[in-house]
Amino acid sequence: MDIRFGKEGNTLIVYLDGEIDHHTSMMIRERIDSRFLMEPVKNILLDFSKVTFMDSAGIGLILGRKSKAASVGGDLKIRNPRPEIRKILKLSKIDSMIV
């Protein structure tokens, strides 16, 4: 899993490239959380354009980061998930977070 960061206004953009499962989610969580603390931002946008797989570990990851953003008055959104990832987001009732 490769992670790159960008910033637009008060939003941290996280470009994820690879697979999200229990194995990779721990590292992704640490990378996002430490960057979110460093940057003067309150929102998080997860760019899923290059995410090739996600299981329910990704749901925990997303909800945890949403909670971090909410703790500073911000929000979390997801963009460009593949159809199979959209399916698991919908099953978990968080597909409304897709922009």
Partner 1 sequence: MKPINKMKIEFWSISANESFARVVAASFAAQLNPSINILADIRTAVSEAVTNAILHGYPDEQGIVQMECTLYPEHIEIVIQDFGKGIDDIEKARIPLYTSRPELERSGMGFTVMETFMDSLEVQSEPNKGTKVIMTKRLI
Residues of the shown chain interacting with partner 1 in the complex, contacts defined by CB under 8 A: 19, 21-23, 25, 29, 53, 55-57, 59-61, 63-64, 83-84, 88, 91-92
Whether 4 and 13 have beta carbons less than 8 Å apart is answered as: no
Taking the least distance from each CB to partner 1, the nearer of 35 and 86 is 86
Minimum separation from the CB atom of position 59 to partner 1 (A): 4
Minimum separation from the CB atom of position 35 to partner 1 (A): 17
- In this structure, the number of other CB atoms found within 10 A of the CB of residue 20 comes to 24
Minimum separation from the CB atom of position 2 to partner 1 (A): 15
- Of 5, 1, 45, 50, the closest CA to residue 23 belongs to 1
Whether 50 and 16 have beta carbons less than 8 Å apart is answered as: yes
Taking the least distance from each CB to partner 1, the nearer of 8 and 53 is 53
In angstroms, how far is CA 41 from the centroid of its own chain? 15
